[in-house]
Structure 1
Amino acid sequence: MTRRTLAVAFVALVVLAGCQSPAGTGGGAVETTTAPATSDFDYADPAGDTLGWEGGYWHNESLPVTVDDGLNETERDQVINRSMARVEQLRSLEFEEPVPVDVISRSTYRDEYTGSGNSSDAMATFDNVKFEALFLVGERNDSLSVQNSNRGSNVLGFYTPRDDRIVVIAESETPTIDENTLGHELMHALQFRNFQANFSSPTRDKANAHNGLIEGEASFLDSQYGDRCGAEWECATPEAAGGGGGGGGSIHLGVYMMKYFPYSAGSAFVEHVHSDGGWDAVAGVYDEPPASSEQVAQPEKYGSDQPRDVTLPDRSSDDWERVTPGGRAPHGEVGVGGLTAMFGYPAYEQDRHPQDAVLNPLNYGANGNIDQDSPFDYATQPVAGWDGEQLWVYENGTETAYTWRLAFDSDGEAREFARTYRQLLQYWGGERVDAQTARWRIPENESEFADAFRVTRSGNEVTIVNAPTTDDLDDVHSK
């Protein structure tokens, strides 16, 4: 469960929006005061364990720690115990046992946690074609490497359910700790200790749906945590910590947008559930998790608008074979998070013409500023009516292709998606070859997505066929 903090996300977003990043928030060099501390508050240790107290520290207690030069082991233990007290106070769930917290360097994190592991050839091919279908990573690049690079540069910490421990990524041996990040990961420990949170997620859409609950609840809570820092609580977070994840490296903003779905849309989803029934209602969602990322992006559809079971038969010639990696669904399903990234990436893709962007994916609040808790809008018009999909990957020797069928709630929404998709093809250099047969072609050297496409609509379904050349289209999927 990696955590890209909202502060990190906002830094990326302000770059996109062309504005300046706000100053970081947090405590000063040394904690000296705590807003809610009053003369009548009894800071004595309770007789037994109680909400809002952990390891000798109350949730609203000041700590004699020096922040800006990093936290030594003693200071780190103090901050961790107080953060546990704060999380259980906010969430009304008791930590029955301490949560181990390890600190590793960013180079260690890159070496040990961001490799592609033992990915099979089928998995690598499948993932590469899926990201190519989303116009995020072209044929000349490896999608797994791009995703790993994003994680290696921006993750500040994560919780591992298998080991029941938190790992903090540090830039020095005496690390600073962003308390929001720590609170977020501590919330994960409560989730996996108290609820059935080990969901089976065979596709990207199912993963975004389930993580929309898991990461959404943690993000919703760390937003409340952050609101209290500097207002009600002193927080052991240096000023510079608000500026990003550290470690340098470039961010692929399209991939970032897709992977950030659980944090952005999930936070709003959990807030919606919480506003109706409090934490008990949120806990109840673990028994019936969202069935699609659409239900997270549009909470009013949760529990009612179930995704359709889309079918896409294999109509390929003998030369083309489906690629079906093990350990997951044999087909792709990216959902509204992936589709939003597909349509939104051109707004921030730097090598072409951002002024010709297909849509602006940023979510603006009533004040006209980007909503920091839910910065992306994953319910834009081209994808809002999503109702299910299947994406199948094919290979013929070293050549690859795909077929993709997407269902929508209405004929009009399918028509809008197809129209926007053709606009996307044009952005990447696509030219209509034959209007009657709905064939398109992106010429070689026009962009990294040079290929042939057939885009058709039948009622409320859109079918996209991709192949190396227009002559190959019917071999990949005969009409």
Structure 2
Amino acid sequence: MSSRAIYYARRLWWPICAIAALILLRGCAYALLNGDRVNARQASTIEAGIQDLRQLRFKQPVPLVVKTPDEAESMMEADLMRDYTDNQLEADAVAGALTGLYPAGLDLKAASLKLLKSQVAGFYDPHGKEMVLVEGGGDLGIWNSAAQFMIQRDVVGEMLLAHELTHALQDQNFDLESSLDKVKDDDDRTLALKSVAEGDATIAGFAYAVGRMDDSTADALANNLKQLPQALAAEAPNTPEGLSVPLLFQYSDGVRFVAEAYRRGGWPAVDALYRNPPQSSHQILHPALYFDRPAPPSRIEVAGYDRIMNGWNKVDDDTYGELLLRVILERNLGKQSNEVGLASRWIADRMIILQQSRGVNVIWMLVFDNAHTASHFAVIYETLLDRLLGDSTPHRIDARSNAVLVVIGEGADYFETLAPAIWSASTIETAGVTARIQPSDGSLIQ
């Protein structure tokens, strides 16, 4: 399951390009939609054009429908809650606060819906196989700020529709929803796949609006997207970084990653990303680890806690990945801290979230690329948790070889029993080799 609600709405494709289009294209009116009516002629032109530009074909028609803001919000909430309960979202919010990802007391469901609603102007719905445009989408504050950049064509609306129709092409040609279902228990892999999809759609939508696709177009897009964080901060102030950063990552870093594939082989190389998708935000952030030095992803199976944590129920089992580890370090140490660089040494992590009437317990195992980094991270993170949690919440950390075990909550009170049990039973798979860590000396047992 997912531990961040921004990922829960994994099936509806949210157009943060409402922001991106204004930054990139300096567009004006939203002429595609007038009240509750779609400009069908213009929409048909865009539908034909995006197929030619993206070199993919629709296998079936994509209806365009108009929804009121309230109807669109109901669709968002329904998608958010399709696989998860309010209790799970609440437990995940507490776990995020305990680890330093979120501020304490965050209503994860409400904050996610607020962020999405503030920017949505349209989306592709793979359940209904339709493109949804939202009444009044052109009146969002960030859209209005574009009025000073008046030009002749409705490039904002064109980019929006071309972007979302590219998602429909992805759905029909690559069965993207099935791929997302396969990684639904790993947010970091979900983020990597969605970064491919959003990067692809953003490049295609932008290229359609400016009338060409080449390496210089992709480069211009990537450079302009650097302004996205400031734009979102202005339009959705006080959004927790644990929500805003992964959302923007799909577009900014997704564009850079997909642009690299395009430079290496055009649209066929982009298509190949869906057949062999990147496995982590680590690969998106460091494209050479996908394109030049690919390696099987590391996997962690956390076990051995069941008997000792008897009576606690597992409500989540997930991966934060390099990106959210970096968010945690930046939130709590400052973006200029040298220790933020520790996140780039990440190679795997797995988090178990347990719940009981007495609260939430987090068991988190992380693996780094060397033992020195793991040991250093353990020291830094323990100091971070001491400052964040104080004496109010028990927490313990242990480093063995290149792995770190973090326990936050009641389990930390009997860490001397719990930690050896977890080390002995858990497995770390790297390059196809599965190993356990010997608790006594930290050596790897294959």
TM-score (norm 1): 0.66
Which residue, 345, 360, 379 being the options, matches 1:400? 360
1:177-256 equivalences under 5 Å are 178-197=157-176, 198-199=178-179, 200-201=182-183, 202-228=185-211, 251-256=239-244
Cα shift readout 1:235-257 (whole Å, capped 9, x = no counterpart): xxxxxxx9779997863333111
Distance in structure 2 (CA, Å) of the matches to 1:411 and 1:462: 9
Unaligned runs of 5+ in 1: 12-21, 30-65, 233-241, 347-355, 362-379, 431-440, 445-450
Secondary structure in structure 1 of the residue aligned to 2:124: strand
Counterpart of 1:127 in structure 2 is: 92
Alpha-carbon distance in 2 for matches of 1:300, 1:142 = 37
SS state of the match for residue 343, structure 2? coil
Distance in 1 separating the partners of 2:347 and 2:378: 14
Tell me by how many angstroms 1:311 deviates.
Answer: 3.3
- Change in Cα spacing, 1:156 to 1:121, as seen in structure 2 (3 Å) is closer
Q: Give the Å deviation of 1:129.
A: 4.0
Counterpart of 1:302 in 2: which secondary structure? helix
Residue 357 of structure 1: aligned partner = 334
User: Cα offset for 1:423?
Assistant: 5.8
Judged with a 3 Å threshold, the aligned counterparts in structure 2 of structure 1 residues 466 and 10 are, in CA distance, closer, same or farther, namely farther
Q: In the alignment, is residue 343 of structure 1 matched against residue 329 of structure 2?
A: yes
Provide TM-score, normalisation by structure 2. Answer: 0.71
Task: Provide closer, same or farther for how the CA distance between residues 221 and 340 of structure 1 changes in structure 2, counting only shifts above 3 A.
Answer: farther
Identify the residue that residue 466 of structure 1 maps to in structure 2: 408
357 and 396 in structure 1: CA distance in 2 versus 1, 3 angstrom threshold: same
1:387 aligned partner = 347
Amino acid at match of 2:201: A
Q: Could you report, residue by residue, the CA deviation over 1:195-236 in whole angstroms, capped at 9, with x for unpaired residues? A: 23221122111211221222221122233235449xx9xxxx
Output one character per residue of 1:249-271: Cα deviation in whole Å (capped at 9) or x when no partner: 86333311123332222211111
Matched, 1:453 2:441: no
Q: Following superposition of structure 1 onto structure 2, how do residues 13-412 of structure 1 map, counting pairs within 5 Å?
A: 25-26=26-27, 67=31, 71=34, 76-95=39-58, 97-114=60-77, 117=81, 119-120=84-85, 123-171=88-136, 178-197=157-176, 198-199=178-179, 200-201=182-183, 202-228=185-211, 251-302=239-290, 304-315=294-305, 318=308, 320-325=310-315, 331-346=317-332, 357-359=334-336, 381-412=341-372
Tell me by how many angstroms 1:306 deviates: 2.2
Which of 414, 435, 457 pairs up with 2:374? 414
Residues 322 and 212 (structure 1), Cα distance of their counterparts in 2 relative to 1, 3 Å cut:
farther
Distance in 1, matches of 2:37 and 2:21, equals: 32
Tell me which residue corresponds to 1:32: none
CA contact (8 A) 1:294 1:335 kept: yes
Which of 406-415 and 199-208 deviates more? 406-415
In 2, the alpha carbon distance for the partners of 1:23 and 1:301 equals 29
Q: Per-residue deviation at 1:133?
A: 4.3
- The structure that has the greater radius of gyration is 1
Relative to structure 1, the CA distance from residue 248 to residue 344 in structure 2 (aligned partners, 3 Å threshold; closer, same or farther) is: closer
1:2 aligned onto 2:3: no
- Cα gap change, 1:73/1:275 in structure 2, threshold over 3 Å: closer, same or farther? same
- Distance in 2, matches of 1:470 and 1:244, equals 38
3-state SS in 2 of match to 1:463: strand
Q: Quick one: percent identity of the two aligned structures?
A: 22
Structure 1 residues 222 and 67, CA, compared in 2 at 3 Å: closer, same or farther?
closer
- Once residues 17 and 244 of structure 2 are traced to their aligned partners in structure 1, the CA distance between those partners, rounded to angstroms, is 13
Query: 1:392 deviation in Å?
Result: 1.0
- Structure 2 gaps of 5+ residues are 1-11, 144-155, 218-229, 422-446
More helix by share: 2
2:153 maps to none
Letter of the 1:467 counterpart: G
Distance 1:67 1:9, change over 3 A: closer
